[in-house]
Amino acid sequence: MDFSTQTSAPEKIKTAALVVGVFADGALSPAADAIDRASQGAVRAAVKTDFKGKAGETLVLRSLPGIAAQRVVLAGLGPQDAFSPKVLASAYRASLSAAAGLGVAEAVSALAAVPMQGADMRARARLAAIAAADVTYRFDATLGKRDASSRPKLGRVALAVERSDTKEAEAGLREGGAIGNGMSLARDLGNLPANVCTPTYLGETAKKLGRTHKLKVEVLDRKQIEALKMGSFLSVARGSDEPPKFIVMRYEGAKQKPASRAKAAGAKTAGQGPIVLVGKGITFDAGGISLKPASGMDEMKYDMCGAASVFGTLRAVAELGLPLDVIGVVPACENLPSGRANKPGDVITTMSGQTVEILNTDAEGRLILCDALTYVQRFKPAAVIDIATLTGACVTALGHVNTGLFTPDDALADALLGVSRQVLDPVWRMPLDDDYQEQLKSNFADMANIGGPPAGAVTAACFLSRFAKGYRWAHLDIAGTAWRSGKDKGATGRPVPLLTQYLLSLS
């Protein structure tokens, strides 16, 4: 997708589709008003008879007199007193979907210029680029016969803005474009079936990303993982014939002001440590011996969406050339039942030396993440964020709207909550009180891998916290937000926007 800005008067813009906004009370945005005056009242006439201005509503007007654009797409903005970034994003998606449906190759949107409280031009432009990537995304990698005509032709989007706003708009488009590209990569990886997207495939994808985006990449094999004494990770991998991979991707962009970065990351003292992202990479999760129900098990190919979000974020950061160091770490394996698989009651030894009694083999994500969290201590990080489709309990608690955020660090929590609102990738902070740790007690090991039904998402985070003592840490449970089911089934690309915007805020 190519993005640009346009500063001509709305009625003079030559384009296949020009998007202008209309509020629910009939009030016209400045661009819509200019089009109406130049077309002798064509917009107001349409509003009176065919268009209510509801949020997400669209109407296409063709060949208006006095208008250079071939088509004018009216986009509903809802009530003026409720106009918000969320409504704007909805209007972007609806209007760009309408433009894509027209089969046009390029469009100009004047929605970013609509005045709004709570979002500057840069933020409004960023949302436009993310929306454009979203509505034009198609997954067809596994179709036997790809139909090129089913892919949207829309490949160029411009924002109509005032000349004084072009610099900020272009910056926002660049950021949003990179986030959109990162989301598309994460969605592609999530949507691939598990017989294609294996741990080995993820390793090869990391190497390819390293070549195209100048990342330093290491992919450790079983022998190297054994040498690191990652007994917990290896215990999960043992049940599958697919070899495990431990993937480390390094983006090295730090140039200046390391103290400011460390402070923003929530560190107690200034330092030059990297931000480390750890993504759960279970490329298929059958539950192991504690086998999952057959219904919906096909969706367990999405159990590596935490890893996918790390790949997508590293791509976005590299495209933007952010002046900070970011390391992505992905432990990747399958969780299957076999004669070699973990059994309930087994006791395993983690890389940290702590032992774990496995009461449920389907609580495997925390078993691979705990060794990764121990491993990343060597980087002396300013902050570590792990991302995982970890618990059904988080879906029960928060549904499919908010990602669960767990951290003992108020500064880090506030930073993530703030940027989540900026890019409409919401998170909700969950408790992490020490009292919940009691549920992980075991008579036979240092801890159990589950704490029973009560507060399942919280006790999973408590388990991980025992391996993240040496640095600032946050855990994102994306079990409810990483993919959609039903007719819209597919990976969402979340939380790539949240993670990228957090890293942008540090740079």
- Just list the catalytic residues: 292, 366
User: Cα 429–269–384 angle (5° rounding)?
Assistant: 40
- What CA–CA distances, in Å, run from 57 to 76, 92, 131, 158, 344? 5, 11, 16, 21, 53
Tokens linked to 58: 């669209």
Contact 261, 322 (CB under 8 A): no
Sheet containing strand 106-109, edge to edge, reads 2-6, 156-160, 106-109, 18-22, 71-76, 58-62
Contacts 24+ apart (CB under 8 A), 431-440: 431/458, 432/406, 432/407, 432/408, 432/458, 432/461, 432/462, 432/465, 436/462, 437/462, 437/466
Report how far residue 424's alpha carbon sits from residue 416's, in angstroms, rounded to the nearest whole number.
Answer: 12
Contact 336, 288 (CB under 8 A): yes
Report how far residue 213's alpha carbon sits from residue 226's, in angstroms, rounded to the nearest whole number.
Answer: 30
Q: Are β-strands 347-349 and 403-406 bridged in parallel, bridged antiparallel, or unpaired?
A: unpaired
Task: Name every residue whose Cβ is closer than 8 Å to that of residue 449 and which is 6 or more positions away in sequence.
Answer: 356, 357, 358, 359, 360, 363, 366, 367, 463
Contact 390, 456 (CB under 8 A): no
Complete DSSP assignment for 341-405: S--TT-EEE-TTS-EEE-S-TT--HHHHHHHHHHHGGGG--SEEEEEE---HHHHHHHTTTSEEE
Report how far residue 34's alpha carbon sits from residue 22's, in angstroms, rounded to the nearest whole number.
Answer: 12
SS (H, E, C) 241-281: CCCCEEEEEEEECCCCCHHHHHHHCCCCCCCCCCEEEEECE
Burial of 497 (0-12, 13-18, 19+ CB in 10 A): buried
The DSSP letter of residue 28 is: B
Rg (CA), the chain: 24
Please give the backbone phi and psi of residue 366, each rounded to the nearest 5 degrees, phi first: -65, -25
